[in-house]
Amino acid sequence: MKKLELVFIPLIAPTHLTSTIQFAKLLIQHDQTISSITFLIILLPNQTDIDQATKSVSASEPRIRFIIVPPPTTNPLSQISSPISVEMLAHIFIESHKSQIEQAVTDLVSDDSRKVIGFVLDMFCTSMIDVANKFNLPSYIMFTSNICFLGFLLHVHTRHTQLGVEFNKSDPDSVISTYRNPVPVDVLPNPVFEKIGGGYDAFVYHGTRFKETKGFIVNSFVELEPYAFNSISTPIPVYPVGPLLDHKKVNRTNGSNEVINWLDKQPPKSVIFLCFGSMGCFSEPQLEQMAIALEKSNQRFLWSVRKPPPDGVHVAPTDYTNVETVLPDGFLERVKERGMVCGWAPQVEVLAHGATKGFVTHCGWNSILEGLWHGVPMATWPLSAEQQLNAFLLVKELGLGVDLCMTYRSGGSGSELVMAGQIEKAINWLMDDENPVRNRVKEISEKSRKALKNGGSSFIALQKLAEDMLQNID
Ligand code: UDP
């Protein structure tokens, strides 16, 4: 009998790749009939290889392998001269690899010992549905965000078929099937407002292509988003199989040991942790307001502060060589008994640490799931992507977070200074033992762990997905 194989096409952005790999591991360990998973990797223009952590996945799970597809002969991005959104850039870049992917799949299917049974595509790699169709294979979407946001993207598509235009900042609240409450326009992601740059078009494109797929694999769990799960308006099955987290993440940087050693010395449940994801950074005036708030709050804190890239360059921030230069004079000295400022933080270890009591987050979906898993209540300070919507979800829809500045946006309008008073108030409320959010987060933390166990909701969704994948074989 032929070995059954799935082809995965992930987005190589680390936060998409991590949860997709976790899903692949779960699936292959769960269902013995699926004997292998091949990741076809499209490297970013500045990459030459996958990282060591990704390579090590194959060493511990040989049924998962990674094949790097060659780049197209001409770089499609070199021909773009007008301003363009990251979403459209990613779409054009992925799409330009169609023939390379097709060749790689041709090689795979020519192996008589294997039978490819489907494609699992990152939510932003939907153009590869065309390749799957050429091989008459079903496509499944790996949705690395939440069910609510999936509902939002489907809504964008439906709305586009009715109105045909992007959103406007003066629009009324949107009624979206996955949200219990009307959604204010100021928490919608930036791309949906774009007249130029193609962000809106990219969202519409993906929402349209979603309709051609056989299922949405979502990094969430039913107990977290019961309303969204039950009310999402799509005939396509939704499989919430999360939370898909990498608990063994090798996250050691030079300062990691120092951070954990410092936390070891703090009293249990006493520290507020401020960390803003892989792209998070602030202007010096904003850092000053944050420093004032932390100093006045009298809370113990661990604060990840990162250096912005030069203007207009879309690369990740870096660590400061001397962070003191961007903080108020004497700040570090004054707070040295109760505060630590670091660069890239070992976030998962910090959240798991007994001294951590609260988390100010940019609301990246992985960060939210990590906070919930470890039962650490969060205050929301979104920056970009779908983070404002995630903040709305956490605070208004689920009652699991404290609003700090839900409508903040990094760069452009909405990035006005958040003043120290507002920050201090949210921090103190987050750390207050009387805050009802604490108990709710504790409960959902237990539910998140249960969901993955044998018989839990995500376990059952995974089982159903595996059965459906086998049913959908031509
Ligand atoms: N992260 C970390 N240290 C940091 C910042 C981020 O370990 O200083 C990790 C965090 O644990 C999470 C990921 O990077 O797993 C960020 O993913 P998320 O989806 O929250 O946000 P994004 O980086 O995509 O904006």
**Mean local confidence (pLDDT), 290-299:** 97
pTM of the entire predicted model: 0.96
Mean pLDDT of 145-160: 97
Name the least confident of 23-27, 249-253, 267-271, 419-423. Answer: 249-253
Q: Where in the chain is the domain with CATH 3.40.50.2000?
A: 3-242+450-471, 254-435
Query: Can you give the pLDDT at residue 254?
Result: 59
For a substitution probing ligand 1, which of 340, 363, 367, 380 has the most ligand atoms within 8 Å of its CB? Answer: 367
176: tokens are 């979206």
Q: Does residue 6 contact residue 118 with C-beta atoms inside 8 Å?
A: yes
CA 366–ligand 1 middle distance (angstroms):
7
| CATH class of the domain comprising 254-435 | alpha beta
| 415 pLDDT higher than 80 | no
Q: Which residue has the higher pLDDT, 84 or 20?
A: 20
What is the tens place of the pLDDT at every residue in 229-259?
999 999 999 999 999 998 876 555 656 889 9
Report how far residue 186's alpha carbon sits from residue 399's, in angstroms, rounded to the nearest whole number. 19
**Of 203-217, 308-322, 391-405, minimum mean pLDDT range:** 308-322
How confident is the model at residue 119, as a pLDDT?
98
Ligand 1: centre distance to CA 279 (Å) = 8
Quickly state the pLDDT bin for 79 (edges 50, 70, 90). Answer: confident
Task: Indicate if the alpha-carbon torsion angle 204, 366, 401, 409 is positive or negative.
Answer: negative
Element (H, E) at 51: none
279 lines ligand 1 (CB under 6 A): yes
Is 87 touching ligand 1 by the criterion CB < 6 Å?
A: no
Q: Which amino acid is at 344?
A: W
Over residues 124-143, the pLDDT tens digits come to 999 999 999 999 999 999 99
For ligand 1, say whether the CB of 17 is within 6 Å of any of its atoms: no
First-to-last C-alpha distance (Å) of the chain: 16
pLDDT tens digits for range 13-71 = 888 999 999 999 999 999 889 999 999 999 988 888 998 888 899 999 999 999 999 99
**Phi, psi for residue 358 in degrees, rounded to 5:** -150, 160
Does the beta carbon of 304 sit less than 6 angstroms from any atom of ligand 1?
yes
CATH of domain 3-242+450-471: 3.40.50.2000
Q: What is the DSSP letter of 399?
A: S
Q: Is the CB of 15 under 6 A from ligand 1?
A: yes
Centre of ligand 1 to C-alpha 32, Å, is 32
pLDDT digits (tens, 9 = 90+) for 303-336: 999 999 887 667 889 999 999 999 999 999 999 9
The C-alpha atoms of residue 455 and residue 452 are separated, in whole angstroms, by 8
Atom of ligand 1 nearest to the CA of 387: 25
The single-letter DSSP state of residue 91 is: H
